[in-house]
Amino acid sequence: MNGQAQGSRFTRWHIEPQREEEQEAWLITYLDMLTLLLVMLVIMLALAGKGEGQQREPAMLEATPGDQLVTLQPSVSPMASIVPLPVPAADTPQDDTSEAKPDLALGDDIEVIVNDGSISFRISSEILFGSGRAELEDAGLDVIDRLVPTLAAGGHRIIVEGHTDNLPIQTERFPSNWELSASRASSVVRYLQLAGIESTRLSATGYADTRPLAGNGDERGRASNRRVELIMQTAPDKP
């Protein structure tokens, strides 16, 4: 009996110590929850920062002056602007009545006339030839040399026209202005051929005094009429 009473009292007041694993289980769960909360907070901050950057970028691009030809998108890296080159004046059709102007690139002694389907390069005969002659002078060769690269650049037909004033000429070689104008045009064609332009693209025509630019009543008008025109046909030949 005495032994049973002692055992009962021991059982009543004796408390088994809890296992170490059971004491730390709640702490591990708590730490896991804190870790998840921190991860979610970091992700939310990252998303918020990315969205703010996307909203600010278009505003900054809009506020910064730049090339209007390029539109920058947030997802596309900026590209260098491409500025179209100006269209050459020779490609712009003008009226046949437009005033002839010297071409700065070719020199003051070459007038360029842009017509519908052709471009004319007008040179005074005073520069190209001596009086009553059809042989090209050194100064005339220099002028044509400046014009050769432009004429050789394309495959267009080139018509060389010779023009004179109304003063008659009567020599053994040139019985009239017809022969003089045609011979001067032929001299220019031969030189263009020697400069490398295909002969199939070239032709020579003499008009004498039948197509004057000004009146022949004074020396100034006659000087304007004595000329050579190189006409480059830009329009395709009609079948």
State the DSSP string of 99-144: PPEEETTTEEEEEEEEETTEEEEEEEHHHHB-TT--SBPHHHHHHH
Residue 182 has a pLDDT of: 98
Three-class secondary structure of residue 206 per DSSP: strand
pTM of the model: 0.57
CATH of domain 99-233: 3.30.1330.60
Q: How confident is the model at residue 40 (pLDDT cuts 50, 70, 90)?
A: confident
Q: How confident is the model at residue 146 (pLDDT cuts 50, 70, 90)?
A: very high
Q: How confident is the model at residue 148 (pLDDT cuts 50, 70, 90)?
A: very high
pLDDT, greater one: 177 or 83: 177
Question: In whole angstroms, how large is the CA radius of gyration of the chain?
Answer: 47
Residue 37 has a pLDDT of: 82
